[in-house]
């Protein structure tokens, strides 16, 4: 079985210091959390950025400041900026970090009811628009799928050449409005992916570590981090993103699966070596 790629989603757009005081807002805090995750075994940093007061932003300048600062400390880490942004942002606002030509970026593959009146809009034309931008700039999309229908959308657009091989999916499970994080649903999604693709699983909240275990066994990859879950175990706040990564590393070692370095992750995902 190939080595395990661990992605650390270090802050997200919604989680706050009120949920866990270690959630990073400032550039310095983002570097601290990226470093803790990397040193624990993460090869990819999934990146959202905030203003210093915690307000989420897709501002290109803020992304550049954060990415440059992380790369200064961790020159070989893979930085994967989010193009999801926050509910209500325009397409071009969300796409700002792609102007920095990262190796990877997220590409959300469908619309989702986040709860109440919040709708995370990703029409088919939006998905095509984002996909074309990534092809133009040589950015590998991580195909964010919150349900089976989003996998189907990605596969249809792959046939139409909006998405190139090799495809890499992120199965985000347990989000309100999306598929649950039950093991039954993990098997359903993972077995819906075609041969030759890779995938990561992001379990939200209480689903994080049981789905990490399932992905390790099934041959997939794992995402953890404060964006998805702020607890190390029930009622115990994680002190850092690194603690969450360390738990996955321990699980992988118990199951006999080695951890990928950034260079090995690039090879697995079909990225250019640096």
Q: Read off the pLDDT of residues 159-211 as tens digits, 9 standing for 90 and up.
A: 999 999 999 999 999 999 999 999 999 999 999 999 999 999 999 999 999 99
The domains found in the chain, sorted by start residue, are 6-269 (3.20.20.70)
SS3 7: strand
CA distance 203 to 112: 16
Please compute the mean of the pLDDT values over residues 215-239 and round it to a whole number.
97
CA distance 10 to 21: 13
Task: Report the percentage of the chain scoring pLDDT > 90.
Answer: 95
C-alpha dihedral sign at 141, 142, 145, 149: positive
What pLDDT does 115 receive?
Answer: 83
Q: Read off the pLDDT of residues 3-21 as tens digits, 9 standing for 90 and up.
A: 999 999 999 999 999 999 9
Q: Read off the pLDDT of residues 92-149 as tens digits, 9 standing for 90 and up.
A: 999 999 999 999 999 999 999 988 898 999 999 999 999 999 999 999 999 999 999 9
Name the pTM for this structure: 0.97
In eight-state DSSP terms, residue 47 is: E
In eight-state DSSP terms, residue 255 is: T
CA distance 200 to 171: 6
CA distance 243 to 225: 9
Decide if pLDDT at 85 tops 90: no
Whose CA is closest to 66, among 34, 96, 93, 37?
34
Gyration radius of the chain over CA positions:
17
CA distance 45 to 252: 19
């Amino acid at each position: 079985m190939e080595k395990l790629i661990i992605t650390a989603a270090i802050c997200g757009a919604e989680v706050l210091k009120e949920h866990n005081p270690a959630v990073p807002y400032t550039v310095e805090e983002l570097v601290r959390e990226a470093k803790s995750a990397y040193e624990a075994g993460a090869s990819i940093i999934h990146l959202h950025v905030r203003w210093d007061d915690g307000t989420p932003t897709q501002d290109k300048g803020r992304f550049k400041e954060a990415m440059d600062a992380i790369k200064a400390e961790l020159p070989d880490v893979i930085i994967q900026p989010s193009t999801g942004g926050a509910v209500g942002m325009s397409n071009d606002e969300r796409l700002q970090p792609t102007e920095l030509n990262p190796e990877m970026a997220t590409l959300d593959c469908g619309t989702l009811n986040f709860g109440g009146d919040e709708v995370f809009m990703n029409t088919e034309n939006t998905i095509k628009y984002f996909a074309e931008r990534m092809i133009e700039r040589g950015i590998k999309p991580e195909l964010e799928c919150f349900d089976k229908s989003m996998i189907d959308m990605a596969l249809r657009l792959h046939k139409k050449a909006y998405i190139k091989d090799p495809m890499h999916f992120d199965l985000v499970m347990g989000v309100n409005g999306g598929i649950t994080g039950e093991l039954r649903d993990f098997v359903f999604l993972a077995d819906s992916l075609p041969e030759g693709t890779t995938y990561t699983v992001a379990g939200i909240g209480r689903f994080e570590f049981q789905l990490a275990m399932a992905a390790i066994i099934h041959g997939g990859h794992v995402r953890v981090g404060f964006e998805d879950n702020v607890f190390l175990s029930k009622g115990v706040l994680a002190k850092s993103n690194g603690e969450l990564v360390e738990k996955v590393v321990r699980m992988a070692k118990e199951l006999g699966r080695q951890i990928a370095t950034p260079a090995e992750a690039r090879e697995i995902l079909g990225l250019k070596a640096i």
